Amino acid sequence: MIIPKKLVLLATFGAAIIISENKALAQEKKTSGNPIVEGWYADPEAKIFNKQYWVYPTYSAKYNDQVFMDAFSSPDLVNWTKHPRVIDTAAVKWAKRAMWAPAVTEKDGKYYIFFGANDIQNNNEIGGIGVAVGDKPEGPFKDLLGKPLIGQIINKAQPIDQFVFKDDDGQYYMIYGGWGQCNIVKLKNDFTGIEPFKDGETYKLITPKDYVEGPVMFKRKGKYYFMWSEGGWTGPDYRVAYAIGDSPFGPFNRIGTILKQDANIATGAGHHSVIQVPGKDEWYIVYHRRPLTETDGNHRVTCIDKMYFDKDGKILPVKITNEGVAARKIK
């Protein structure tokens, strides 16, 4: 059958209009939307590298399928690019499953990703917290040690959910722990191990009231903000609380809940990280939550919303949204 030239031109013109409209819609995207990316992702670590926002989440699936991690980058918090498999178990021979909750930091031109693996239940199993290194924020990351950095259960804290905190004096600490207990350790300068504090202790217990997992620490106006997740990770009561201290070691007395479910938006909001726009008192919280109708515990998605403080430095409760946040480029 011969198609008249006029119909071909009309079809082509129509396709051009559709493509043009799609481009216009993409350009008109005013906010990030929540979730910020497609797919099941949890425990997001948010960082800024080279004037780009980065998010490193757990791939939220059954433990035996959690054998890799993806990353996402954005120039403005609205448009995200996926970087698949920045690390996987092929690069970490001792890790077999349950790769969880990455923590990422840059030091001396190298990028380090700390991760939990294998979900160990006792000190006879191989697993715990590992560290890998790469030349770029998107990796690929290669195992730094060939073994866990922390592979034992100390102070009843399961070695998972590590967070790396750099203090103003340049010292790096790692705060970690599941099973309702939280340790802080001092990292060696090359991240190949941990070293004792001045008092001889190596693992300091800093567990606040109601702590479950997912520690986060940041510094604002000379104060140390310590945040953590409470409740059950598969339940609607999952939430984030916080405390404020004068040092990385506390004491940290629970102040209140700042992130939780909204019956109109999502359930199980928790296990988060925090972004500060460089040089500005402007803050975002990146977290996971569960869609309202979802019953699969692994169906978690990564979201972002603004975080504010009151005049006394207290964190105001976060309003979780479907809209997310407006574009914010880093100058």
Catalytic residue annotation: 43, 213
Q: List Cβ neighbours of 15 (8 Å cut-off, separation of 6 or more).
A: none
End-to-end CA separation in angstroms for the chain? 58
Comparing C-alpha atoms, which of 255, 302, 246, 304 is closest to residue 275? 304
CA distances from 198 to 86, 118, 187, 249, 307 (A): 36, 32, 13, 13, 35
Comparing C-alpha atoms, which of 115, 110, 6, 5 is closest to residue 58? 115
CB atoms within 10 A of CB 202: 12
Q: How far apart are CA 272 and CA 270, in angstroms?
A: 6
The strand order across the sheet containing 256-259 reads 213-220, 223-230, 239-245, 256-259
Q: Residue for token digits 């190298």?
A: 110
Q: List Cβ neighbours of 300 (8 Å cut-off, separation of 6 or more).
A: 40, 41, 42, 60, 268, 288, 289, 290
Q: List Cβ neighbours of 279 (8 Å cut-off, separation of 6 or more).
A: none
Cβ atoms of 118 and 99 within 8 Å: the answer is no
